[in-house]
Amino acid sequence: MRTFIVGLISIPALWAAPAVTTVCASGCDQSSLQIAINNAAAASSGPQVIVLKAGETFDTASGFTLPTRSGSYTGWITLRSSRVSELPAKTRVAPSDTAKMATLRATSGGYTSVLYTSGHPSSYWRLEGLEFTLSTTSLNNTGWLVGIGYGKDEAETEPSRISHHIVVDRCYIHGIAFDNGPRDGIRVNGDNIEVLNSYISEIKPGPLVAAHPVRRGPERRLRARHPGGLPPARRLPARRDGEDRRHHHRPGNPAAGVWRSPRRPDQSSDRH
């Protein structure tokens, strides 16, 4: 007689369902976007997804912040519109898509951002299907709508304190026609930063696009002040380590609208 022994092998899950937090004025998990962001940054597990109700407006007088992590979960945290699935992947958005987006607005002038990184570092954040703009004209906003890193901040004294792995995907980032400011659409002082399939316009003053080193550090500023958004692809100045930075965008190409910063070899984008 033959005897067969069947054993059960426990295999740990390689994928976990995301922890989803909905944000809206009423009837959602949170009514405060900043509290939802802070809770996600303090989470012990993930992935973390914050879903903002499309069509709603989230105003800030001092800027929403993406902090450093305080919890044990260090993977991706995503802020997205509740209708982001209606914005086709790998396709550049247009101003006509705003009904499918949640809108984040700055209500004050000066150097106030709509959203910026506040940690040293802030890392592994994704922004999907969001509109970033000003609440009204005559704010004299001379800052940037989205700020990634500081560049000249005394706290960024070594590579480990520089913000990294931040993705801006299918977002509409713009000022107001015939108004003064903002100065920059996206200010980039970080590594492994990607701007994908996004539409940037009505940024003043400045050229159509200025993506260049400013003072010290790897800062890049993305500007556009005409309805066509960003101009054709061109090579940016090389880094000191010889690695090129390129701004990829060709108007009329629906798969364009891509800008990536260099990838540091000591950082992986494979976190979940």
Please check whether residue 182 is in contact with residue 153, taking contact to mean a CB–CB distance below 8 angstroms. Answer: no
Query: Exposed, middle or buried by CB within 10 Å (0-12, 13-18, 19+), for 124?
Result: buried
More confident residue, 152 or 38: 38
More confident position, 209 or 33: 33
- The full set of domain ranges for the chain reads 19-260
Q: Given this model, what pLDDT does residue 237 score?
A: 36
Task: Tell me the two tokens of residue 148.
Answer: 């990634």
Instruction: Give 174-185 pLDDT, tens digit per residue.
Output: 999 888 888 889
- Whether the link from the prior residue into 95 is cis, omega within 30° of 0, is no
- Given pLDDT bands bounded at 50, 70 and 90, which one contains residue 56? very high
Residue 233 pLDDT more than 60? no
**CB contact at 8 A, 75 and 44:** no
Q: Give the residue, 54 or 271, on which the prediction is more confident.
A: 54
Is-contact 166 65, C-beta < 8 A? no
Per the prediction, the chain carries an average pLDDT of: 78
Q: What percent of the chain has pLDDT over 90?
A: 52
Is residue 64 within 8 Å of 35, Cβ to Cβ? no
d(CA 165, CA 192): 5
Over residues 253-265, mean pLDDT: 51
Report which secondary-structure segment, H or E, holds 34: helix 33-41
Q: Is the pLDDT of residue 224 over 70?
A: no
Higher pLDDT, 268 or 2: 2
State pLDDT tens for residues 95-136: 999 999 999 999 999 889 999 999 889 999 999 999 999 999
- 201 pLDDT more than 60: yes
Say what the pLDDT of residue 40 is: 97
Give me 12's structure tokens.
Answer: 């740990």
Half-sphere exposure of 163 (CA within 13 A, CB side): 31
Contact call for residues 128 and 170 (beta carbons, < 8 A): yes
**pLDDT higher for 55 or 226?**
55
Domain 19-260 -> CATH class: mainly beta
pTM for this prediction: 0.77
- Whole-number Cα distances in Å, 34 to 24, 44, 169: 12, 18, 20
Beta strands in the chain (DSSP E): 19-23, 48-52, 57-60, 64-66, 77-81, 102-106, 115-117, 123-128, 130-134, 144-148, 164-169, 172-174, 184-189, 191-196, 199-201, 219-222, 234-235, 246-248, 258-260
* pLDDT at residue 156, rounded to an integer: 72
User: What average pLDDT does range 248-266 have in this prediction?
Assistant: 46
CA distances from 124 to 47, 163, 224 (A): 11, 9, 26
pLDDT score recorded for residue 260: 59
- pLDDT digit string, tens, across residues 27-55: 999 999 999 999 999 999 989 999 999 99
Instruction: Work out the average pLDDT over 83-95.
Output: 96
**What's residue 152's pLDDT?**
54
Residues sharing a CB contact under 8 Å with residue 263, sequence separation 6 or more, in sequence order:
191, 192, 269
